[in-house]
Amino acid sequence: MEFFNLHTHNYTNSKDILELVNQYPNEFDKKIPYYSIGIHPWKIEENRVEAELKIIESKLQTINCLAVGECGLDKRIETSLDLQITIFEKQLLLAEKYKKPVVIHCVAAFQEVIEVKKRLQISVPMIIHGFSKNEQVARQLIENGFYLSFGKYLLQNPELESVFKNIPNNRFFLETDTIEDGIYEVYALAAKYKNLDLTALKLIIENNFQKVFTT
């Protein structure tokens, strides 16, 4: 593995990239070698949640499924937060049962995500994908045991440089999510911000991958 893409919706089949491709239970592509699977808060449909949870549980028992997600909480959608929390909790308990990390979608609900983690005593790694907030939020998440993944907003928002610089090297990942820019561009900018050469950055990500996904 030369590069690791923590979260993408665009499978490229690049030989030098391990891509953790986001999959949904009802839109599953068995040709994708490594993936996460979960119920995104945008895609909640109450009448099929239980069936989707069964699919997720079956996939979690395979070696190609590296994580649960993306799943999480989003206060800017119409789906009730209580329903989102219920479905999020069920996925976290599956992650805990099968010892898989979790890729989290979180919009304006960081306190709630932290509260759920504490209340359920979740011990598996939890990664906030697409992080774009300030240093205070980043610090609070890290203090509560979360990892942060950077990508689209790191490329688009220069103000994130100071936030990213101060993230401990053992607590971050890089991703592309839905953007067309490749993971190479994200790595290059991350190396620049961290004042590292590319080889050193790759080693950091490799170490984080080993700790989160293979232990």
**Domain spans of the chain, in order of start:** 3-213
Q: Is 129 annotated as a binding residue?
A: yes
For the chain, state the CA radius of gyration.
Answer: 16
Percent of the chain with pLDDT over 90: 97
Residue tagged 């449909």 (tokens): 45
Q: Is 105 annotated as a binding residue?
A: yes
Instruction: Name the superfamily (CATH) of residues 3-213.
Output: Metal-dependent hydrolases (3.20.20.140)
Contacts 24+ apart (CB under 8 A), 46-51: 46/83, 49/87, 51/25
- CB count within 10 Å of CB 132 equals 18
The average pLDDT across 46-64 equals: 97
For the chain, the average pLDDT equals: 97
List pLDDT tens digits, range 63-75.
999 999 999 999 9
Burial class (CB in 10 A: 0-12, 13-18, 19+), 47: exposed
In the predicted model, is pLDDT for residue 215 greater than 90? no
Per DSSP, the residues of 132-152 read: ---HHHHHHHHHTT-EEEESH
The average pLDDT across 55-60 equals: 98
In the predicted model, is pLDDT for residue 129 greater than 70? yes
The average pLDDT across 115-130 equals: 98
pLDDT at 181: 82
pLDDT band at 118 (very low <50, low <70, confident <90, very high): very high
